[in-house]
């Protein structure tokens, strides 16, 4: 039984690595989906950032959003997300525009645990970073798609002092 579980875990790990969405147990074991990714940690609610989040909805499909702006003013572009080897294909819901993203791991800056280079990001941002505790919950059906990123920031701020400071005017 233990051998069967170990083989199943190994198979899952190989599958995750093959599609570029994570590893298994390593220091940089972060997936491109189910996590808040930001370009930089802003020093105030008025400082602009780029961010993205993709999550598996209750219907089994992935939905996500790119966000650019500050917490007071910004824009979003909601998309569907299809994982593929080394990246993801996205289709923007507003106009049907498609983009092919390619992911590469990078060295995180001080204060971050994960770093991801996103080639093909339509916002022009390439480098995104995240923290271990910025994993998000699955099931985006209770969140309005245009609020995916800002809702995640508000939710994660409960346990992250840096994010909480951004929500205080």
pTM of the model: 0.78
Domain assignment of residue 98, given as a range: 2-166
The closest of 77, 62, 53 to 154, measured between CA atoms, is: 53
Continuous segment of H or E residues that includes residue 15: helix 2-18
What's the pLDDT tens digit per position in 37-77? Answer: 999 998 889 999 999 999 888 777 899 999 999 988 999 99
Total tally of structural domains belonging to the chain: 1
pLDDT band with cut points at 50, 70 and 90 for residue 142: low
Task: Give the H or E element holding residue 93.
Answer: none
């Amino acid at each position: 039984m233990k051998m069967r579980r170990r083989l199943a875990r190994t198979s899952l790990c190989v599958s995750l690595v093959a599609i570029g969405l994570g590893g298994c147990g390593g220091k940089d074991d972060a997936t491109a989906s189910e996590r808040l990714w930001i370009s930089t940690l802003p020093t105030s609610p008025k400082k602009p950032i780029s961010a993205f989040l993709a999550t598996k909805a209750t219907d089994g499909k992935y939905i996500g959003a790119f966000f650019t702006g500050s917490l007071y003013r910004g824009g979003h572009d909601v998309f569907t997300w299809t994982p593929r080897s080394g990246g993801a294909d996205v289709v923007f819901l507003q106009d049907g525009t498609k983009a092919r993203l390619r992911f590469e791991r990078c060295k995180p800056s001080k204060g971050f645990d994960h770093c991801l280079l996103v080639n093909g990001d339509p916002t022009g941002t390439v480098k995104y970073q995240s923290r271990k505790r910025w994993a998000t919950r699955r099931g985006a059906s209770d969140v309005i798609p245009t609020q995916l990123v800002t809702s995640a920031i508000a939710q994660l701020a409960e346990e992250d002092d840096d994010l909480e400071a951004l929500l205080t005017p």
